[in-house]
Chain A
Amino acid sequence: MEPNSPQAQAGAQPPAATLPVEHGSESELLFSTHVFAISPMTVDSTEWTRGKDGLEHREIRVQAKLGEIFKGKLAIKAGDVFSFTVYQHREDEFFSNDYHGLWSYVQLQPGVEYLIVSSGNTNRVAELLKEGACHAVLDASYVADARAAIEAEWIYRTALAKADEPDADVAAASALLGFANGQRSKTKDLFGRYLWARVLPVFLHSYEKLEAPVLSLVLAEDATRELRGAVISGVYEGTLLLEPNPELTRAVIRAFFSLLRQKSAAPLAYKLVEVQLYNLVLREGNVDVPVESIYPEQPDRDALRKALEPFQSERARQLSNWLAQPVAPHAR
């Protein structure tokens, strides 16, 4: 427990330890109205039948137990049993062309806990689980994200409430990042998107104060892949929003390239090469990023070129070529 957590300060008058509803946020934990856990007890499916629309359809009837409620009010309490029905659609068992909705790709298993993220002007769980209302059905590992976000929100609001302090928002974002660092080995992308939704507005005006802790989180090898991926996406988009900002861009490029040499970041490397690094360095219409401004030393470039070798894409080749540019004399 963090020393200033809501639990630790229960006697004071801390901000409510709840997640607000923020429409338009990129964070599911913020834009949703409800977050709760369920554990299916029985899952019954009807036979697939082909409808007039050419698709096959079936019903999934579920009896489940409500787990912990992380956001929003529900008509039932944790531990109560409830039923709900969802529908699945497909073209054919061996034929799939299009996306047919969230539930069409979820196979609930009895006895397994799931985290539900949904939105609706209702307190009825069955309504919140319907297609359209339900945004995500996540495995139980994401419960940690929900818990962390609640605690983080309290930390954030507490810091932000110190309005008399200059840069209260910077302090709040820094506090969040500090908390996230402590949670990095158990939280994933759900928390990562929450974190970045809070950090981004501050990053856009005070990136120089947040750059170090943010990149530290990106580079932390003990952080979960999903959390790092979410923060990488956030930093990438934040850097794009701040363009032209050569200093920040160089720092982010350096950090992202260094990930290519981290074994723990291997699952992130493909997207880093194909999306983030390519776009920051070479995308069409981009301001030229001189390689010597980032890697003045040849050995560094050679090492990175080697790290790119496993990627056989055109973009990887272009990045390698960029690194292969001769070092200008003045750069040494």
Chain B
Amino acid sequence: MSTQLPADPDSTSGQDQDDSTTPIDDTSGSGTGDAGSGGGTDEDDSPSGGGGDQDDAPSQEGTDQDDEPSSDENTDVDDESASDSDSSSGSDDSSQDDASGDQDDNSDQSADESASDSDSGADGDTSETDSDPDADQHALGNADKDADQNAGGTSVNETSASCDADDNPQVPPVTPVITIASKIVVVKRAYTNPSRKKVVLSVDDASFDGSGTLKISSAAISFFDAATAGNAVNSGANFTGPQLGAGVTIFAEGTTPSAAVDDVVLTLTLTKGSKPVKPPATGKMTSVRVTLDICQSRTSKTTPAAPMSQGDKISVGRFLQVQDSNLCGRAMLIVRKAEPAAFAGNLVLIPLNAKVQAFDKGSEKASGQAALPNRHVIANSTIDKAAGAEKWAEAANVSGALRDTGFQLGVDGVDDDGDRVVATAVKFTNIKATIKSTPGIHGARVGAAAPADHTYQSNKISPDFAANLPLVLMRNGQPDVQLVVTSAPASLPILWQAIRNTQDHASLGNAAAVPHVTPDADVTKAKLNTDSKGSFRVRAYIDCNGSNTYNDQIDLEPSIPLNLVLADATVVTDNSVAAGPFPATAGQPDGGVEIANGVWTFGSAGMNMELLADVTGGGSNGLLGLDCVFSGLVNNLTNVDISAVYVDSTVAPPANHSLKSIYVSNATAGTGAHRGRKLFKPGDPAPTPVAWPILDSGRSPAGVGGETATMSGSGPHTVTPRPVGQRWKIQCLDAPSRGFPKVHPNFPNAVLSSIHLLWQFSANFCFWTNITKNRAATGDPADRLYSVLRIVNWQLAGDWTVAYPAAPPTPPTLTVVTAHTATTPSRSTINPIGRAQDNNVEVRPPSGIAQIMAWDGSS
């Protein structure tokens, strides 16, 4: 592309084509250049560069013919042209020129013809490369052949040319020629590299032995002696005749925007040598500055998006989230009106690569909305000077590195690299949450490994709790849930924030009442403290407005949420009650004695445990997530001292022997057996007690998650609706018993004499969650994480002496020494609900019944 001529508002369309193809020297460019705006010829320019040369010739010839009669006429014509330049030249071309001129005026036809027979092809770059020499040669050729004509056709030639009239008319004067590859140059910014535009200074006589001086009217365009780097060519630069004869190529680079179109005037004035010279040649150029802004995300829906600073738009760039299901935000692009405002060409907005694309509309991506073409052309004349033209940037494919994409804005047909905004296309893949399970109070005990952590992975970016199901945990369930976000590219400046679901009922908390999220040094990680209640979105995000906060529901900053529900439970009433006074204990017909504590039906059990609790999840009705919340009674043995004394009266003095219910870690060391349990006999290793508290679930397996930590008599809660949340009734019953045989299992002569009962346990109303909505132990988050709301400490007590009649098998007579009672020495509420381990609640095996209970009859 030899020339890119901008649209001239004064020009006619017919001239546009001429101009686009005849910019090559000042003589034609000044006259037809004004008329010949490049507007509308963006795509035609490339092919027409070659064709233009051909087309121009007749036109110039026509003009030349008109001008030929005398230099005075030239001057006159020039003056006329100067005074009536744009319109008259256009009208002249269209109305007076010959057929060739008409053809020239037919821009489409000309362009087509040019394209068809030109070697420049459609590729702009190739065309430019190819055409530049042509243009130079052509200009020089014209100058050589038609110096007068060129001069005559140069309406802008400053003509004090009559000075040459004194010279020998037999020696044609030397004509200065300025050949401008592009009248428009794009202002270079520190971070852009628009190509410098060639300007050739020459004369039409290679033997010229005078000199020439270049005058540059404005600093808006700088000139250099090389396409890149090189030395500045300043106003006043002198060139020798041989240099001009050979042609001096200088390169134009926009420095500042022109104050007006064509306000940079180059004047090449020749100083005669042995030959007379024509008046100076002039050429006009315009330095155009384009500006592309990209906006930050907004901090308020009522506040317009603020453009990033000129520094930040390059050094920081905008982070855009790769679009997914129309859930990712766009950034506003603002194409500013090019300077000078009167510049009538087209601007072109171009994605730097396929990682981003531009749209006409912002906000959510409408279904089926198509991206703008990769070269989106915007007429500068249509751009509002104050507001610019709004477009919207969206990420389409993830970046490989920070700031590896963005957009550039150029002048269509001149250079694409007028301004840039940089972007990073971000992709968030998932957030993984690692939730510690409730450990054993005493760590991992024999036969029971420490519980594995739960892991939960949120793979969706939808904020919708129905589409992107939440992780449900109990309030205060854990203070250190490890969050890790997977994202690309590396080194994203990720922040973390928990945001309350705006749908939450006010009673669940305000916007400030959110769980604490503490970022790790590695910004891809954070710790979540579940110290709140309600529903939330814990977001890993990129701050795109400097607010250092995720501006929820305003613009969509790049982000992925971990949808989270923190369920809460509060005590309404603890209705736990003992059955009342126990009936008297009687001996069995076989001589044994069983100490029973009620029967296993509700209301008749020794201990009837019941809690009314108000339970809330999230959302407007407090029900969100409650289908993943479960409750039950976790029973812990806290002290069991149940024993009997047997007396052997066959020896003197009578010997006492003990039979004791024990909970030991070495039950297998007992070499005897008693009622299905190991029995420690004399000589056996000493029993090794298991430290209290001990889980007492009665389930098998016990303590592996979900309801397996609860008593077998603890079933699902019942529900009464509440305005917010639900009222749960959690029930359990307990009616344990212990019996002793008449005769000691290790000492056949020893007979039951007394029984001591002290049975202490804590009834813990606990909660856990399971995202699969399953009460059983499935291993899903977070069925191994227990919280406790209410603890009722129970005590069963009683002492009896046992007496046998002389004649068996008459049942023994029991005498109460200490009343047989079931009491609740203490009750406590954990408010707010807290972790099981913080309240000495054992939820891990071994369970007291199945694995570790034995009898000690060793002494």
Contact = CB atoms under 8 A, between A and B. Distances in A.
B630 to A, nearest CB: 15
A24 B718 contact: yes
B348 to A, nearest CB: 65
Interface string A155-192: 00000000000000000000000000000000000000
B827 to A, nearest CB: 9
B594 A98 contact: no
Contact of B697 (A56, A98, A279): A98
B756 to A, nearest CB: 16
B738 interface: yes
Contacts of A285: 571, 829
A104 interface: yes
B711 A99 contact: yes
Interface stretch (B273-281, B330-338, B510-518, B729-737): B729-737
B575 A279 contact: yes
A24 B729 CA distance: 12
A283 B570 CA distance: 14
Contacts of A98: 696-699, 711-713, 736, 849
Interface string A206-233: 0000000000000000000000010000
A200 B718 CA distance: 14
Given A91-B676, A95-B739, A97-B736, A241 B575 contact: no
Interface in A56-115: 56, 91-101, 104-105
Contacts of A240: 572-573, 612
A168 B805 CA distance: 70
B495 to A, nearest CB: 39
Contacts of A56: 676
Contact of B592 (A94, A96, A271, A313): A94
Interface in B551-607: 571-575, 577-578, 580, 588, 592, 594, 596, 599-601, 603
B676 A97 contact: no
Indicate the size class of the contact surface on chain B.
35 or more
Interface string A257-287: 0000000000000110011000100011100
Given A98-B697, A99-B733, A237-B720, A105 B600 contact: yes
Contact of B712 (A95, A99, A283): A99
B760 to A, nearest CB: 14
A93 to B, nearest CB: 7
Nearest to A25: B718
A95 B592 CA distance: 12
B719 interface: yes
B712 A100 contact: yes
B675 interface: yes
B675 A95 contact: yes
Contacts of A284: 829
Nearest to B593: A94
A131 B776 CA distance: 17
A275 B729 CA distance: 14
A50 interface: yes
Given A92-B676, A100-B712, A105-B600, A275 B736 contact: no
A24 B733 CA distance: 20
Interface string B808-831: 000000000000000100000100
Interface size class of A (residues with CB under 8 A): 20 to 34
Given A95-B739, A96-B736, A98-B698, A271 B829 contact: no
A229 B853 CA distance: 38
Contact of A50 (B588, B676, B718): B676
Given A54-B676, A92-B739, A97 B696 contact: yes
A101 B402 CA distance: 63
Contacts, number: 98
A2 interface: no
Given A53-B700, A270-B580, A94 B612 contact: no
A100 B727 CA distance: 28
Interface in B447-476: none
A275 B850 contact: no
B848 interface: yes
Contacts of B698: 97-100
B737 A95 contact: yes
A275 B612 contact: no
Given A100-B712, A271-B577, A241 B720 contact: yes
Contacts of B697: 98
Contacts of B740: 94
A262 B719 CA distance: 32
Contact of B573 (A24, A101, A200, A279): A279
Contacts of A97: 696, 698, 736, 848-849, 853
Nearest to B608: A271
A26 interface: yes
Contact of A54 (B580, B599, B741, B850): B850
Interface string B732-758: 011111111100000000000000000
Candidate in B573, B574, B599 with the most chain A CB atoms within 10 angstroms: B573
Contacts of B737: 94-96
Which 10 A-B pairs give the minimum distances between C-beta atoms? Answer: A94-B739, A98-B698, A99-B713, A279-B573, A96-B737, A92-B675, A94-B594, A105-B600, A274-B577, A99-B712
Given A96-B735, A97-B848, A98-B712, 18 more contacts: A26-B720, A26-B729, A53-B700, A54-B850, A94-B675, A94-B740, A95-B676, A97-B849, A97-B853, A98-B697, A98-B699, A98-B711, A99-B712, A99-B733, A101-B712, A270-B577, A274-B578, A285-B571
Interface of B: 571-575, 577-578, 580, 588, 592, 594, 596, 599-601, 603, 612, 675-677, 696-700, 711-713, 718-720, 722, 727, 729, 733-741, 823, 829, 848-850, 853
27 contacts: A26-B718, A50-B676, A54-B677, A92-B676, A93-B594, A93-B739, A94-B588, A94-B592, A94-B739, A94-B740, A95-B675, A96-B735, A97-B849, A98-B711, A98-B736, A99-B600, A99-B711, A99-B712, A99-B735, A100-B712, A105-B601, A237-B612, A241-B720, A270-B580, A275-B573, A275-B577, A279-B573
